[in-house]
Copies of this chain bind each other. A is one copy, B any other.
Amino acid sequence: MRIPAPNNTPVANEEVLFQHVQFKTGQRIHTIGQPFEMLYVVNSGFLKTVMIDELGNEQVLSFPMKSDLLGVDGIHSKFHTSEAVALSDCDLILVPFKKLTALGKTYPELEHAMYGVMSRELVREQAMICMLGTLSAEGRVARFLVSLSDRFSQMGYSHRIFNLRMTRHEIGSYIGLTLETVSRTLSALHEIGWISVDQKTIEIKDLNALRNLRRLPTAKARKEKKTAAAVAAAMSRQQQNAGQAASL
CA distance A2 to B242 in the complex (A): 38
In the complex formed, the residue of B with least CB distance to A244 is B54
Q: Which B residues touch A120, using CB under 8 A?
A: 76-77
Q: Are A54 and B123 in contact (CB under 8 A)?
A: no
A137 to chain B, nearest CB (A): 13
Interface bits A40-84 vs B (CB < 8 Å: 1, else 0): 000000000001011101010100000000001111110001100
Q: Are B123 and A81 in contact (CB under 8 A)?
A: yes
In the complex formed, the residue of B with least CB distance to A114 is B115
Q: Which of B112, B121, B127, B132 contacts A132 (CB 8 A)?
A: B132
Verify if A88 is at the interface (C-beta below 8 Å from B): no
Q: Which B residues touch A134, using CB under 8 A?
A: 53, 57, 59, 176
Number of identical monomers bound together in the oligomeric complex = 2
- Segment touching B, from A20-28, A100-108, A229-237: A100-108
CA distance A239 to B205 in the complex (A): 49
CA distance A55 to B215 in the complex (A): 13
Interface bits A116-156 vs B (CB < 8 Å: 1, else 0): 11111111011111101110000000000000000000000
Q: Are A77 and B123 in contact (CB under 8 A)?
A: yes
**Contact of A54 with B242 at beta-carbon distance under 8 Å, contacts A73-B126, A75-B119, A116-B75 already known:** yes
Verify if A111 is at the interface (C-beta below 8 Å from B): yes
Q: Are B76 and A126 in contact (CB under 8 A)?
A: no
Interface bits A172-186 vs B (CB < 8 Å: 1, else 0): 011110000000000
Q: Which B residues touch A242, using CB under 8 A?
A: 54
CA distance A51 to B61 in the complex (A): 20
Q: Which B residues touch A108, using CB under 8 A?
A: 101, 105
Q: Which B residues touch A129, using CB under 8 A?
A: 59, 61, 125, 128-129, 132
A20 to chain B, nearest CB (A): 24
Q: Which B residues touch A246, using CB under 8 A?
A: 53-54
A26 to chain B, nearest CB (A): 23
Verify if A245 is at the interface (C-beta below 8 Å from B): yes
CA distance A246 to B77 in the complex (A): 15
Contacts A/B (CB < 8 Å), 18 sampled: A51-B130, A53-B130, A54-B244, A54-B246, A55-B214, A61-B126, A61-B129, A72-B119, A73-B126, A75-B115, A76-B117, A76-B119, A77-B123, A82-B126, A101-B108, A104-B111, A114-B115, A132-B133
